[in-house]
Amino acid sequence: MRTGDFFKLRFLKPVDFPEPKVVVLTHVKTESFRDSPEPKPVVYFKDVQKPLILNKTMAQFLEDASGTDVMTDWAGTKVEIFPTSVEVNGQTKPCLRLRAPDQAELPTRRPIKPSEPHVNGHDDIDDEIPF
């Protein structure tokens, strides 16, 4: 039995992802917190019960990963959540971060079908160009 079994936290914490996992972002909301004068972005993921509060670094990563700074357009972006640590006021603390998924997790492109040769049996690349 763990203390987390009794004191459910509303947002994702490192204990929720002891191993990296690829997830798909579904939507972003802004929420106000009592210890912050300004609202913060909170992201939700498909098949993940709790949302993740974004910091500036993770928000900038999602801009790059999605190709836009419009948060409502981030839905469908595939990312990997992984546990790590960060130094805060001289102390090392566990945290969650986002990164691009491994290449094996990304969709693969269909192979390009070679073009058919022209009637003469060769393509136009060898044609002479008059100058």
CA 39 to centroid of chain Cα atoms: 21
Domain ranges, ordered by start, for the chain: 8-102
User: pTM for the whole thing?
Assistant: 0.70
pLDDT of residue 72: 93
So what's the pLDDT on residue 24?
95
3: pLDDT strictly greater than 60: yes
Q: Quick one: pLDDT at residue 43?
A: 97
Alpha-carbon gap, residue 103 to 108, rounded angstroms: 9
Q: Identify the band that residue 51 occupies on the pLDDT scale cut at 50, 70 and 90.
A: very high
Cα end-to-end distance, the chain, whole Å: 82
Q: What is the 8-class DSSP label of residue 119?
A: T
Average pLDDT value for residue range 55-84: 93
Instruction: Compute CA 8 distance to the chain's CA centroid, rounded to the nearest angstrom.
Output: 25
Residue 46 to residue 42: CA distance in whole angstroms: 14
The mean of the pLDDT values for the chain is 83
Confidence band of 88 (pLDDT split at 50, 70, 90)? confident
User: 9 falls in which pLDDT band (50, 70, 90)?
Assistant: confident
Phi, psi of 124 (to 5 degrees): -80, -5
96 and 83 Cβ atoms separated by less than 8 Å: yes
